[in-house]
Amino acid sequence: MSPPDGGRDPRSVESLAAETERGFDSKPNLPSRLIRYAAAKERACAMRDFISRDRSGDKSAQQENTRLAHELHHCGSYLVFREYLESKSVRLHAMRSCRLHLLCPLCAIRRGAKLVSGYLERVEFVSQERSRFLQMLTLTVRDGDVLHERFSHLRSSLKRLFKRRHLVRGSEMEKIAGAVWAYEVKRGSGSGVWHPHVHAFLLCDERVDPVALSREWKEITDDSHVLDCHDVYGQVADAFCEVFKYSLKFGDLSLVDNFDAYKLLRRRRLIGSCGALWGVDVPEDLTDDPIFSEQYVEHLYRFARELGYVDVDTGECFHAKASVVGDRRALLSALASAR
C-alpha cells in the first residue's frame, strides 16, 4: 500500500529543550506547550488512521492493529492542567497515555522529559563526590537495506565495546565511570536506507580519545570507524536532550517506515546504562509532579483535528498553525463532530 504523507512535518515537536528548560511550566509558556502537543497529537492521529487502514497480516495482527489504533485515538484526547496560584506555574496534571513512544510523539515528548530529569539529577549527585569529565559519544554502523540486521549488528557491537571496560587493558572504555545511551533509527540522508546509531552520555575519569576509540570501534564492527566524541558544551540538560530526543525520527520517517520500525523495535531495550549512571529510577507516569502545598485552578483542554487543543471553558484554540479565539458556538460544534 502506498504511504500517506502523514500531514504536516512534525519536526517542530522533536525537541525536548522546551520541556526541560527552567520555567517551562510558567503560565506564559503554556500556549507554546499546547501548540507543541497539538502537533505531536496530529502525527499520532495520522498514524492511527494509517494503522486502521492496514489490512495486511493475519487475524491476530488485525486485532493488534485495532488495539493500537484505539490507544492512539484516546491518548492525549483530554489534558488537565493545574494553575498554581502562589508559584504561578502551570503543570500537566492528568492525561490518558498510550505509552507507545515509538508511534506517538506526544508520549515520546513526555517520556523523554522524564528521562532527562532523572539522569540530570543523578549526574548532579555523583558529581558532588568528585570532578569528572562529561562527554558526548555518537556511534554508527554502515547503513543497510535490512533494519533488523543493521540494528542487531549495532547492538551486539555496542555490547562488545562496553565489555572492554573490564576485559581489555588499555581500552579507552576503561576511562568511563558511567554512561547512559539510547538507540536512534532513521533513514540515512544520503543513502536513503536504514541508519541506526547510538547517542551516549559519558561520565569519565579521563577524557576519551576519539581517534583511539575509533580504532577500537572499527576492530569491533569491521564496517565502521565513524563516531563523534566531544566534551559536553553548554548545559548538561541539552546533552541529555540529544540522547533522549526520540528513538524514531518522526519527521524523517514515513508512516510506513515508522510502523515497520515499531514492529521490529517494540520489544527491544532501546536505552541502556552502566557504572555510576546505572539504575536511575524513571517514573512511568508521564504527567508533571504536583505541588501539594498550593491552591490551584484546573483548566481542561480537548483535542480536535484541525483545531488543536481547545480550552473547554473559553473556546481558545492552540494549533501549530495559529493560536486563535474562534466563535464559541462553532468551536463547540466542531468538537462535538470530532467525537
pLDDT at residue 332, rounded to an integer: 52
Q: For the CA atoms of the chain, what is the radius of gyration?
A: 22
What are the tens digits of pLDDT across the range 160-191?
999 999 999 999 999 999 999 999 999 988 88
2 is a domain residue? no
Average pLDDT for the chain: 89
What average pLDDT score do residues 263-285 get?
94
Could you give the CA distance from residue 127 to residue 220 in angstroms, rounded to a whole number? Answer: 31
Could you give the CA distance from residue 204 to residue 158 in angstroms, rounded to a whole number? Answer: 18
Instruction: Order across the sheet with 133-140: list the strands.
Output: 227-231, 133-140, 194-204, 176-187, 271-275
pLDDT at 10 over 50: no
Range of the domain at 197: 12-281+293-337
Which residue intervals of the chain are DSSP H helices? 17-20, 30-53, 59-74, 105-126, 147-167, 210-221, 236-243, 255-265, 328-337
212 is a domain residue? yes
Lookup result for grid cell 505531536:
40
Lookup result for grid cell 494553575:
83
The model's pTM: 0.87
pLDDT at 1 over 80: no
pLDDT at 294 over 60: yes
pLDDT at residue 107, rounded to an integer: 95
Could you give the CA distance from residue 209 to residue 211 in angstroms, rounded to a whole number? Answer: 6
Nearest-CA neighbor of 280 among 202, 156, 179?
179
**Count of CB atoms situated within 10 Å of the CB of 280:** 16
**Count of CB atoms situated within 10 Å of the CB of 92:** 20
When comparing pLDDT for 191 and 156, which is higher?
156
Per-residue confidence band for 308, with pLDDT thresholds at 50, 70 and 90: very high
Q: What is the 3-state secondary structure (H, E, C) of 268-308?
A: CCCEEEEECCCCCCCCCCCCCCCCCCCCEEEEEEEEECCCE
When comparing pLDDT for 257 and 56, which is higher?
257
23 is a domain residue? yes
315: phi then psi, degrees, rounded to nearest 5: 80, 5
pLDDT at residue 336, rounded to an integer: 55
31 is a domain residue? yes
What average pLDDT score do residues 28-45 get?
94
pLDDT at residue 146, rounded to an integer: 97
262 is a domain residue? yes
What are the tens digits of pLDDT across the range 57-66?
889 999 999 9
pLDDT at residue 264, rounded to an integer: 95
**156: which residues sit within 8 A by CB, 6+ positions away?**
none
Cα torsion 144, 148, 151, 157: sign: negative
pLDDT at residue 321, rounded to an integer: 67
pLDDT at residue 250, rounded to an integer: 79
Under 8 Å between Cβ of 126 and 204: no
pLDDT at 3 over 60: no
Under 8 Å between Cβ of 71 and 98: yes
7 is a domain residue? no
pLDDT at residue 319, rounded to an integer: 85
**DSSP category for residue 8:** S
70-79, 95-104, 128-137, 149-158 — which is least confidently predicted? 128-137
Strand bridging mode 227-231 / 296-304: unpaired
The torsion defined by the Cα of 129, 131, 132 and 134, in degrees rounded to 10, comes to 110
Structural domain total, the chain:
1
pLDDT at residue 55, rounded to an integer: 83
5 is a domain residue? no
What average pLDDT score do residues 142-159 get?
97
Lookup result for grid cell 495520522:
46
Under 8 Å between Cβ of 26 and 89: yes
What are the tens digits of pLDDT across the range 194-248?
999 999 999 999 999 999 999 999 999 999 999 999 999 888 998 999 899 878 7
Could you give the CA distance from residue 136 to residue 153 in angstroms, rounded to a whole number? Answer: 21
pLDDT at 327 over 90: no
**Count of CB atoms situated within 10 Å of the CB of 188:** 16
pLDDT at 115 over 50: yes
pLDDT at residue 333, rounded to an integer: 56
- For 16, the 3-state DSSP assignment is coil
Strand bridging mode 271-275 / 227-231: unpaired
pLDDT at residue 337, rounded to an integer: 52
3 is a domain residue? no
pLDDT at residue 245, rounded to an integer: 85
pLDDT at residue 221, rounded to an integer: 97
